[in-house]
Structure 1
């Protein structure tokens, strides 16, 4: 990373260390800390050009922020808003971008309903909270108003999802839909998964240095050292895959690899923590639940493996 990107990472990490409280956030009606979200947008983590009221940050900077949010499992609408921003920019509609992007840059939550599964309106990121609601039919992008939204409880309390009923909604066409939005979504999610996997491993290593069996910290046992070394390699290769996600194929590869890496690390986290990991008071179960949920978001690994198989036969 550049010095500027390292400074951004440190600023976001410091902010989250001081103000992120996952359990308090998920228990609020909004499902996230509004003050914390305002601070993040002030830092300039959204990839909105300066001409539309943004900081001029690129997706590389957004990816850094997403990794930090993943580390702490902080509920925040950055993933949803980033995807919505990309969808708007891809339309090339200056009037719509000039009207909506400055609002998003100021902290207005935006989200997108798009055809990533058979029922895209059932699991919409921050769909019950977003003030700006966009819809893709696979060909065009629409701005939606007067839709009925309802929070959808899921296994993962740190990920806000909603069901959106479009029966009586009003839809205004804003421009063409770009399939590249999917690639950005997969790359963004992969960055978040890498951050969560890295922190899960850090917490596990720290715990094995203090948990004692047979008179020794379990982290001193050679078998566990080998397991954690393997997990370290898994996390770092996942990070490489996430950073390389810049087109249709590499984004699909990142989604598959980072999903499986995060799930493997989270599962080992629970196992190596022992009984404490399945208590509500410990965060291990939250990492495992996030790993389960993010595997299915924007298509399962199996869905993307099938896509990659088709690419190979072209």
Structure 2
């Protein structure tokens, strides 16, 4: 991650700080972000902070509230309760909840109990945030595909909620940037795991990595990851729904390819519970569950169509 407007030393320092923070904490919550100065960096360089934090969370398989922080920054809701005392209840595929008396979603809960809830709801074709008192929600830890992520399933009674305005589209774009970065981080880590295996393991007296078919599998995966990285960097500069959707689709593809190709070169060893590969695969599928590929494909088609019209007018 270089970013056209970012100093290389700043990026290196951010990566080192994120690596230390995730290595030192099993779950990175609000206090850890504040202690390392990340709140200031999010305000000064939001795209840099979101991408670096999300990628490092993927590489180290850490639980954190990075996705929620990215969404909050884009929402730009000044009247919302602070992140230290509230949690955003995230709907499936980042589509806002229907305006119903009770909703169920996912949230990170690491503050005082009970914390207040922020619930995105669509009302009359406009997305608003509902500020709900803490006692109206009942969180239960999620222990399914990826319990290390630290999520809770929350059922919220929306009675008496206070509506707050928000910029939902920008918030979702920031969230997609975070998801794409985490998938790229996961895919990069999977390549490293596979590379270490094919360098140290031997067959017929030579390292597995000496075989062309192994080299081609990892090379193809590396190309996909680098392409996703480039589109992610475009997203940090462009800040449009088209850029965010394109980066998320490319990152999803890179993760899928890393899952199949790295699992293939790892062989049966990579399928064991003792090997780390399954943790990356489970985390990646959990992250990818937030991404609706059909919706993002439509956003990209619409964006490319608009770009084609503009080019036609120019020529």
Q: Tell me the TM-score range normalised by the shorter chain.
A: 0.7 to 0.9
How far the C-alpha of 1:159 sits from its partner, in A, is: 2.7
How far the C-alpha of 1:165 sits from its partner, in A, is: 2.0
CA distance in 2, matches of 1:47, 1:136: 25
CA distance in 2, matches of 1:211, 1:276: 11
1:55-74 equivalences under 5 Å are 56-74=44-62
1:24-173 equivalences under 5 Å are 25=26, 32=27, 38-46=31-39, 56-87=44-75, 89=76, 91=77, 93=78, 96=79, 100-101=81-82, 104=83, 110-114=87-91, 116-117=94-95, 121-126=103-108, 131-138=115-122, 139-145=127-133, 146-167=136-157, 169-173=159-163
CA distance in 2, matches of 1:108, 1:57: 24
Give the gaps of 5 or more residues in structure 2. 307-315
CA distance in 2, matches of 1:206, 1:48: 34
How far the C-alpha of 1:182 sits from its partner, in A, is: 0.8
Aligned to 1:223: 213
Aligned to 1:308: 300
Residue 200 of structure 1: SS of its match in structure 2? helix
Q: Alpha-carbon deviations, 1:183-230, whole Å to 9, x = none?
A: 111011111111111111111111110111111110111221122111
Aligned to 2:311: none
CA distance in 2, matches of 1:11, 1:48: 11
Deviates more, 1:144-153 or 1:113-122: 113-122
Residue 113 of structure 1: SS of its match in structure 2? coil
Higher relative contact order (CA 8 A, sep 6+): 2
Question: Which of 240, 261, 267 is equivalent to 1:247?
Answer: 240
In the alignment, structure 1 residue 10 sits paired with structure 2 residue 2: no
Q: Alpha-carbon deviations, 1:166-188, whole Å to 9, x = none?
A: 23554112223431111111011
CA distance in 2, matches of 1:295, 1:262: 9
CA distance in 1, matches of 2:208, 2:71: 43
How far the C-alpha of 1:123 sits from its partner, in A, is: 4.1
1:264-303 equivalences under 5 Å are 264-297=257-290, 299-303=291-295
Q: Structure 1 residues 286 and 172 mapped into 2: Cα distance closer, same or farther (>3 Å)? A: same
Aligned to 2:195: 205
Give the gaps of 5 or more residues in structure 1. 26-31, 50-54
TM-score (norm 1): 0.79
Corresponding residue pairs, total: 284
Query: Residues 127 and 133 of structure 1 are in contact (CA less than 8 Å); yes or no, is this contact kept in structure 2?
Result: no
Q: Structure 1 residues 162 and 11 mapped into 2: Cα distance closer, same or farther (>3 Å)? A: closer
CA distance in 2, matches of 1:184, 1:62: 8
How far the C-alpha of 1:142 sits from its partner, in A, is: 2.0
Aligned residues: CA RMSD = 2.8
TM-score (norm 2): 0.79
Aligned to 1:188: 178
Q: Structure 1 residues 292 and 187 mapped into 2: Cα distance closer, same or farther (>3 Å)? A: same
Residue 38 of structure 2: SS of its match in structure 1? coil
How far the C-alpha of 1:56 sits from its partner, in A, is: 3.9
Q: Greater strand share, 1 or 2?
A: 2
Q: Alpha-carbon deviations, 1:35-61, whole Å to 9, x = none?
A: xx6333322224677xxxxx6452312
